[in-house]
Amino acid sequence: MLSDKGSAVIRKYGILNTNVPPDVTKFYGIPFPGQYMLAADGTVREKLFLPDFETRASASEVLLENFGAGVGNNAVMVTAQDVQAKVTLSDVRGFGGQRLGVLVDFSVGPGWHVYGEPLPTGYSPTSIKFDDDVVASQSLNFPKPTPVNFKLLGETLPVYQGSFKAIGDVLLRNKLAPGDHKLAGTLSFQECNDSICKLPQTVRFEIPIKVDAYVPPLAAK
């Protein structure tokens, strides 16, 4: 934690938080929250800056996104017939207003496929959705599906086969009560092969998380 009297260094870097008006003396002078990830040779591999101090990415999110591993291996395995999904949260704890990374490792059994998007009416895409009691917003980016022509159907549809990953984040709600919580959600998909399609499925899951009390940042003096 470094002192920056008068926000001199913050201003030189051009990261003075202009969303905080000067008359808010308690917080005026703070920077836009951000982080850099450096490679072993000292070059900047990734940088991320956010609009306000209440919505922050965690270091564990960066680890999960770049290396596929977070803190504490906070994960749950969801299994439904020929489809498996390992849902991993980047950390075992957080605080209200914090952003955490999410990684989903999918595995589809041989001979079967699930659908991506966009899809015509009558098919169900693969999705992961978290409940909104703990999560304020969420984003999950799937890889581009493979277009496959199904002669029996007379259609070309976007599908996933074998193993694939989806990665994104969840934003924890502000003012969450400190203590033990559950990030509950739903895995939805439709499993098909070249000749038949099973009924669309939804499978519930829960990931435990410890919510810490929020501690606001100190203003620069």
Which stretch of DSSP H or E encloses residue 34? strand 34-38
Contact (CB, 8 A) for 166 and 144? no
pLDDT tens series, the chain, 221 aa:
578 888 898 888 888 888 888 876 677 888 887 777 788 888 887 777 776 655 555 666 666 666 655 555 788 999 998 999 999 998 888 888 888 889 999 999 999 999 999 998 888 999 999 999 999 999 999 999 999 988 877 889 999 999 999 999 999 998 899 999 999 999 999 999 988 889 999 999 999 999 998 766 555 44
Query: For residue 2, is it within any domain?
Result: no
How far is it, in rounded angstroms, from Cα 61 to Cα 166?
Answer: 14
138 and 94 within one domain: yes
Query: For residue 220, is it within any domain?
Result: no
102 and 25 within one domain: no
Query: For residue 99, is it within any domain?
Result: yes
Query: For residue 23, is it within any domain?
Result: yes
pLDDT of residue 31: 85
**Tokens 């955490």, located at residue:** 100
134 and 105 within one domain: yes
136 and 41 within one domain: no
Query: For residue 41, is it within any domain?
Result: yes
How far is it, in rounded angstroms, from Cα 163 to Cα 83?
Answer: 10
Contact (CB, 8 A) for 159 and 114? yes
Query: For residue 221, is it within any domain?
Result: no
Query: For residue 186, is it within any domain?
Result: yes
104 and 147 within one domain: yes
How far is it, in rounded angstroms, from Cα 77 to Cα 79?
Answer: 6
208 and 118 within one domain: yes
Where does the chain show beta strands of DSSP type E? 34-38, 44-49, 56-57, 74-80, 83-89, 93-95, 98-108, 114-115, 127-130, 135-141, 146-150, 155-160, 163-172, 179-189, 201-212
134 and 25 within one domain: no
Residues spanned by the domain of 208? 54-212
**Tell me, what CATH number does 196's domain have?**
2.60.40.10
Beta bridge partners of 82: none
59 and 45 within one domain: no
pLDDT of residue 184: 96
pLDDT of residue 79: 93
Q: Which token pair is 12?
A: 């030189």
Q: Whose CA is closest to 63, among 169, 174, 172?
A: 169
89 and 78 within one domain: yes
Query: For residue 4, is it within any domain?
Result: no
**Tokens 């005026």, located at residue:** 28
Please state the domain count of the chain: 2
Which stretch of DSSP H or E encloses residue 115? strand 114-115
Contact (CB, 8 A) for 207 and 89? yes
Contact (CB, 8 A) for 187 and 76? no
128 and 203 within one domain: yes
How far is it, in rounded angstroms, from Cα 126 to Cα 119?
Answer: 11
How far is it, in rounded angstroms, from Cα 203 to Cα 152?
Answer: 29
77 and 171 within one domain: yes
137 and 121 within one domain: yes
Beta bridge partners of 78: 85
Tell me how crowded residue 9 is: count the other CB atoms within 10 A of its CB.
14
Cα 196–Cα 122–Cα 166 angle in degrees, nearest 5: 85
pLDDT of residue 54: 57
